[in-house]
Amino acid sequence: MARILITSAIPYINGIKHLGNLVGSQLPADLFARYHRARGDEVMFLCATDEHGTPAELAATKAGQPVAEYCAEMWEVQDKLGKGFGLSFDHFGRSSSDQNHKLTQYFAGKLADAGLIREVDDQQMYSNTDGRFLPDRYVEGTCPNCGFEDARGDQCDNCTKQLDPVDLINPRSTISGSTDLEMRPTKHLFLGQSTMKDQLEAWIDSKNDWPILTTSIAKKWLNDGDGLQDRGITRDLDWGIPVKRGDQDWPGMEGKVFYVWFDAPIEYIACAGEWAEANGKAEADWQRWWRTDKGADDVRYVQFMGKDNVPFHTLSFPATILGSGEPWKLVDYIKSFNYLNYDGGQFSTSRGRGIFMDQALEILPSDYWRWWLLSHAPESSDSEFTWENFQQSVNKDLADVLGNFVSRVTKFCRSKFGETVPTGGSYSEQEEALIKELQEKLQFYQAHMEAIEIRKSASYLRAIWVAGNEYLQSAAPWAVYKEDPERAAAIVRFSLNLIRLYAVLSAPFIPDASKSMLTAMNADGAEWPDTIEEALGALEAGQEFTVPENLFRKITDDEREEWQEKFAGTRD
C-alpha cells in the first residue's frame, strides 16, 4: 500500500473560480486522489484558499467588509462549491490560518539563519489618503514619454515603455483616486534564490519523468536573461502574515507582511496541521506526511497546477524547502496544465465570460462537468470548451453509452425476470471473450491513471463502457429469450455485473452516478477489482436490485443555445 500526498494549487480567495481554474488543478487532483483511495492506497489530499495580498483587500473594500470577514465568507463559498463538485479534500484549509502564520514565520527564520535572506532598502509610493503603500500597478498617471493619461506605475499601456511610479506625471492612486502621494523609503526582505540556482537546477534535471510543460517553464526561469533572480518576500500591507523571524520580532520589519507568494505554498504544509487539529490528530500524524525524518520518506508527493503556477512550485517553494536545511518533503511529481479556453477566447472573470463553478452547478449536476472537463483536460496544449462539443460528449458518452446501458439491462431484466439477478443458464465464449477484453482495457486504464494521463484514462474508461454495449448487442438476450430463456438469464446476470463493475471503475470520474449505480445494484461499498473475472461474479443469482432513474439526461439544442447566449459575457 503506497502513501500518496496530493496537493492542488490553492485558489485565490477573491471570487468564484471558473471551469478553467477547476480543470487546471483541483479536479484532476481529485481524480487522482479518488483513484488511489480506490486502489487501497493511503492518501492525503490537501487544498486551501490563498487569502493574502492586495486583490483580497480591494475585493473586501468593494464588498464593504473587513478583509478577514470577507475571506471567511468567501472560504465558505469556495468550500461549498468544492463539495458541490465532489472534490474530496481531506482538508480544505486557509492560508490565513494560525498554523500557516507560525510555519511561514518559522521558515523565514530558518532561511535567515542559513544566510539566505537579505534586507534591501527601497523607495515606494505611499498614499496619504489611503494610508498605505501602493504596489506599482495601483498607481496611475500621465506617461512622461507619450502623454497617455492612464499609464500604470509599472508600464505605459499606450507606448509600452517600462516606467517607475515616480516618473508618472500627476500620479494618482487607483484605489481612491487620491493624488496625495509621496515616495517613502521602505525596506524589504529578499530570498536568495540566485545562490541556490545550481542546486535547484540539479534537482530539476533529476526529474526526467516530469511533463515537458513543467520542466521547460522551470528551465526558462533558471536560465533566461540574468538567470534566477532573488525575490522580494515582504510587502507593505496590513493583511497578511506579519514578518517575524521564527517567533522573534524582526527589527526594521515592523508593520510589514510576507508576500503572498511566499506564504501560499507553505500553506500546503500548514494545511496538514489544520487537518490534524480539525480531526483531533496529533502533531506526529501530519508530520508523517511532510517530514522525511518523521515517517514521510516513503511518501510520494504529487502537485497539480495550471502552467502559470509552475515557476513558484519548481523554484520558489523548493528554494524555501531546501534553503531551510530541514528534512521537509519535496515534491516528487508536478502535473501541470495548459489553459482551457472558452468558445474561441479566454475565460474572463472581469467580463463574466465563460462558466463559473456556481453557475455550472445551477444548470447541471457535477458529474456532467467532471466528465467533460476531465476527458478534455488541457494536458498537452490549451484546449477549447464549446457548447456543441459539451452537448455532444455528454449526450453520447454519458447518456447514450453508459446511462442507456444501465437502463436497457435493468429494464429488460425487470420485464422478463423481475428485479432479481436471474438464476440459471451458463456462460459461453462470449462472456469469456469480454472478460479478456475488459481485463486488457483495465490494465491500460490503470496504467494511464497512475501516469496521470487524464484524457487517455478517460478514453479507456469510455472504451470499457462501449465494450458492454458491443457484448449486449451480439449476445442479444431479447432474441435469445424466445428460444432459450436460461441462456438469456445468464446474459442478463452477466450484464448486471457489468453495471456494478462500471460503477466501481467510473467512480473517480463520476462519483455521484457511480454511487447511484452501486445503490441500484445493492452493491454499496464494492471495491476495485483484482481481476475482471472475479468482479463479474460478485452479484449472485437471486440477489435483488432496483431499476434506477436514468443516470444522465440529455442536453437539448434549446438549452445549448440558451446557455451559449447566457454565458457569452459582455465584450468590450
Partner RNA sequence: GGCGGUGUAGCUCAGUUGGUUAGAGCAGCGGAAUCAUAAUCCGCGUGUCCGGGGUUCAAGUCCCUGCACCGCCA
Q: Which of 31, 34, 192 is nearest to 108 (CA)?
A: 192
Q: Are 134 and 153 in contact (CB under 8 A)?
A: yes
Q: Mask of contacts with RNA, 456-475, x by CB under 7 A?
A: x--x------x--xx-xxx-
Which of 65, 194, 349, 404 touches RNA (CB under 7 A)? 404
Q: Which is nearer to RNA, 443 or 474 (CB)?
A: 474
How near is the Cβ of 94 to RNA at its closest, in Å?
A: 25
- Residue 380 makes contact with RNA by CB under 7 A: yes
Query: Of the two residues 382 and 540, which places its CB atom closer to RNA in the complex?
Result: 382
Q: Which is nearer to RNA, 21 or 383 (CB)?
A: 383
Rule CB under 7 A: say whether 339 interacts with RNA. yes
Beta strands at 91-94 and 42-49: parallel, antiparallel or unpaired: parallel
Residue partners of 164: CB distance under 8 A and separation at least 6: 136, 153
Segment near RNA (CB under 7 A), from 70-78, 236-244, 325-333, 376-384? 376-384
- Given the rule CB under 7 A, which of 232-240, 452-460, 501-509, 519-527 is the region that contacts RNA? 452-460
Residue 388 binds RNA (CB under 7 A): yes
Query: Between 97 and 174, whose beta carbon lies closer to RNA?
Result: 174
Write down the least CB distance from residue 271 to RNA, Å.
26
Binding residue for RNA (CB under 7 A) from 64, 121, 131, 160? 160
Judge whether 459 and 375 are in contact, CB under 8 Å.
yes
For the CB of residue 467, give the shortest distance to RNA in the complex, in Å: 8
Q: Is 329 in the site for RNA (CB under 7 A)?
A: no
Residue from 212, 350, 327 nearest 269 by CA: 327
Which of 61, 155, 519, 522 lies at the binding interface for RNA (CB under 7 A)?
155
Contacts (CB under 7 A) with RNA, residues 215-274? 216, 220, 224
Task: Identify which of 161, 127, 122 has the alpha carbon closest to the alpha carbon of residue 144.
Answer: 161
CA distance 525 to 14: 38
- Give the range of 35-43, 58-66, 275-283, 338-346 binding RNA by CB under 7 A: 338-346
Residues binding RNA: what is the number (CB under 7 A)? 54
Asked if residue 556 binds RNA (CB under 7 A), the reply is: no
C-alpha span between 118 and 233 (Å, rounded): 10
CB 13 within 8 A of CB 337: no
Q: Could you tell me if 43 and 90 are in contact, meaning their C-beta atoms sit under 8 angstroms apart?
A: yes
| 165 interacts with RNA by CB under 7 A | no
145 binds RNA (CB under 7 A): no
**CB-wise, 130 or 367, nearer to RNA?**
367
Burial grade of 543 (CB within 10 A; 0-12, 13-18, 19 or more): middle
Q: Is residue 422 a contact point for RNA (CB under 7 A)?
A: no
554 is an interface residue for RNA by CB under 7 A: yes
First to last CA, the chain: 54
| Nearest alpha-carbon partner for 196 in 312, 323, 327 | 323
553 part of the interface to RNA, by CB under 7 A:
yes
Three-state SS across 245-300?
Answer: ECCEECCCCCCCEECHHHHHHHHHHHHHHHHHHHCCCCHHHHHHHHEHHHCHHHEE
Angle at 211 between CA 294 and CA 316, to 5 degrees: 55
Residue 108 neighbours by CB under 8 Å, 6+ apart = 117, 189, 233, 243, 244, 245, 246, 250, 258, 262
Q: Is 122 in the site for RNA (CB under 7 A)?
A: no
Q: Is 517 in the site for RNA (CB under 7 A)?
A: no
Query: Least distance (Å) from RNA to the CB of residue 101?
Result: 27
Choose which of 338, 430, 439, 519 interacts with RNA (CB under 7 A): 338
Helix (H, G, I), strand (E, B) or coil at 184: strand
Q: Give yes or no for residue 392 binding RNA (CB under 7 A).
A: yes
Verify binding: residue 455, RNA, rule CB under 7 A: yes
Q: Rounded to an integer, what distance in angstroms lies between the CA atom of residue 394 and that of residue 56?
A: 36
Residue with cell 487620491: 178
For RNA, the closer CB: 292 or 420: 420
Which of 145, 386, 430, 564 touches RNA (CB under 7 A)?
A: 386
Q: How far is the CB of 408 from RNA (least distance, A)?
A: 3
Amino acid, res. 95: S
Q: Does 403 bind RNA (CB under 7 A)?
A: yes
Is 407 among the residues that bind RNA (CB under 7 A)?
Answer: yes
Please report whether residue 76 would count as binding RNA according to CB under 7 A.
Answer: no
**Residue 351 touching RNA (CB under 7 A):** no
Contact 192, 117 (CB under 8 A): yes
Please give the residue ranges that form the binding site for RNA (CB under 7 A). Answer: 154-155, 160, 162, 216, 220, 224, 308, 338-339, 346, 376, 378-384, 386, 388-389, 392, 396-397, 399-401, 403-404, 406-409, 411-412, 415, 455-456, 459, 466, 469-470, 472-474, 476, 478-479, 550-554
